[in-house]
Amino acid sequence: MVINKSAGLLMHGTRLPENQKPDKPEATVADWLVKNYPEVRSVGDDPSVRPGIVHRLDKETSGIVVAARNQKTFDSLKSLFQNHEIKKIYAALVIGRVESARGIIDKPIGIKAGTTKRSIHSEKMQKPAKTEYRVKRYITVNDRAYTLLEVSPQTGRTHQIRVHLASIGHPIAGDKMYGGKRAALEGLNRQFLHAQTIEFVLEGERFRFEAELPEELKSLLA
């Protein structure tokens, strides 16, 4: 199952004690999957929380997500992700003018103590991370420079693209966590990060899926 996720939608909830569960839980991709494809209830590493979900996007990131409807496919897709055999391309609008037409950011990412925030400076649960990028075009808004990038993560760490781009001084527009007030852009109520394409070979067949930029990002660029 290939889904074009909207920004503002959680992938899945978290496991909470009964006394901490909200009266009205937030809607998630996992809820939609279970409702429309009940067979996913038993699929995955932790199907009670992440039924059929092989990989994730941040809440404020839109675009392509792949889910599995049976355990065999889940295991095959998981192996492809672990072996870096899945090619993903994201569209990202970043603050400032990125001078190099192409670049590679190869910096391990860890968790900042006492938070959910990731950092290249933290050694806690640090893991290797590598991101490639290519400049698509330069944009000026109210005399301020921005760069539209095509980004290909070679690993799949939490917040990887956001952390890596911020680490080279070019946080993603709208990303308050890693860009602060500097990331604010009038007319943008989310982070400008969209999972545009995904490509992989499964059981001898090559698949490629593409999701156009959502209207709110298209109109901003226009």
Q: Which residues pair with 67 in a beta bridge?
A: 53
- Alpha-carbon separation of residue 61 from 18, 121, 143 (angstroms): 29, 24, 26
Phi first, then psi: give them for residue 35, nearest 5 degrees.
-65, -40
Give CA–CA dist 127/167, Å, rounded. Answer: 16
Residues contacting 22, CB < 8 A, separation 6+: none
Nearest alpha carbon to residue 98 among 171, 160, 162: 171
Given a contact cutoff of 8 angstroms between Cβ atoms, the answer to whether 118 and 109 are in contact is yes
Given a contact cutoff of 8 angstroms between Cβ atoms, the answer to whether 133 and 163 are in contact is no
SS3 assignment, position 160 = helix
Give CA–CA dist 54/30, Å, rounded. Answer: 11
Options 31, 58, 106, 143, the catalytic residue: 58
Counting every residue written for the chain, the total comes to: 222
Query: What tokens does 164 get?
Result: 């890596």
Given a contact cutoff of 8 angstroms between Cβ atoms, the answer to whether 39 and 67 are in contact is no
Catalytic status, residue 58? yes
Task: Give the residue numbers annotated as catalytic, written as ranges.
Answer: 58
